[in-house]
């Protein structure tokens, strides 16, 4: 069974999301979208505070330390596996699995065809060795603020900080509106 979910959002990462009228409401999709919203809102707030406090080099620590902690807290409290991934990872611990790679490639193809990244999302029930699992991904668009650390023209100070913290960093060279990656959630059914 495949369930495609289209979402809309107003901020650089995410704001309020709603299911498209063409898709029947699904309680798993609604729950996943609420978790994504909480993750995005929490992370965005911490990133904005770090940027205000010490600029992009300060925000790098938030992405490295706080983003995984936020994901772990949400995973524990919700019963879902919560994370972020990308085809161009900064942290190799966030490498996409085969299913995530396929969805991310689809997101990139949709972007290349002119679709807005902001509302992109995908949900599917997949069969695993342990039974059925509900999987959900919400694209993360590259916003203006993201370009300081993920763009083509990052400062030498930011590049040095990234090189120090992420020796295998591949998450540079993005342009405004690109698919930076995605929130990825899964839950056994």
Percent of the chain clearing pLDDT 70 (strictly above): 87
Residue-wise pLDDT tens digits, 96-152: 999 999 999 999 999 999 999 999 999 999 999 989 999 999 999 999 989 999 999
Residue-wise pLDDT tens digits, 77-90: 999 999 999 999 99
Q: Is the pLDDT of residue 6 over 60?
A: no
pTM, entire model:
0.84
Distance of CA 14 to CAs 17, 55, 152, 157, 160, Å? 8, 21, 23, 28, 29
Cα 189 from chain centre: 23
Distance of CA 35 to CAs 57, 71, 97, 105, 116, Å? 27, 10, 20, 23, 22
Q: What is the mean pLDDT of residues 151-179?
A: 95
Give the mean pLDDT of the chain: 87
The whole-number pLDDT of residue 21 equals 32
The whole-number pLDDT of residue 31 equals 96
Q: Is the pLDDT of residue 3 over 80?
A: no
Alpha carbon distance 90, 153 (integer Å): 17
The whole-number pLDDT of residue 180 equals 97
Percent of the chain clearing pLDDT 90 (strictly above): 80
Banded pLDDT at 26 (limits 50, 70, 90):
confident
Q: Is the pLDDT of residue 38 over 60?
A: yes
Which is higher by pLDDT, 41 or 25?
41
Which is higher by pLDDT, 8 or 86?
86
Q: Is the pLDDT of residue 179 over 80?
A: yes
């Amino acid at each position: 069974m495949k369930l495609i979910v289209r979402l809309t959002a107003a901020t650089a990462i995410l704001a309020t999301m709603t299911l498209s009228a063409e898709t029947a409401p699904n309680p798993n999709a609604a729950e996943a979208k609420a978790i994504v919203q909480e993750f995005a809102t929490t992370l965005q707030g911490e990133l904005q505070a770090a940027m205000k406090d010490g600029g992009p080099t300060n925000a790098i620590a938030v992405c490295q330390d706080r983003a995984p902690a936020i994901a772990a807290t949400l995973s524990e409290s919700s019963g879902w596996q919560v994370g972020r991934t990308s085809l161009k990872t900064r942290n190799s611990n966030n490498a996409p699995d085969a299913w995530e790679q396929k969805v991310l490639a689809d997101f990139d193809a949709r972007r290349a065809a002119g679709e807005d990244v902001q509302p992109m999302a995908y949900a599917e029930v997949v069969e695993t060795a342990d039974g059925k699992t509900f999987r959900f991904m919400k694209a993360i668009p590259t916003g203006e603020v993201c370009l300081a650390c993920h763009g083509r023209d990052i400062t030498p100070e930011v590049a040095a900080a990234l090189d120090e913290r992420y020796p295998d960093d591949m998450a540079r060279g993005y342009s405004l509106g690109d698919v930076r990656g995605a929130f990825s959630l899964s839950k056994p059914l």
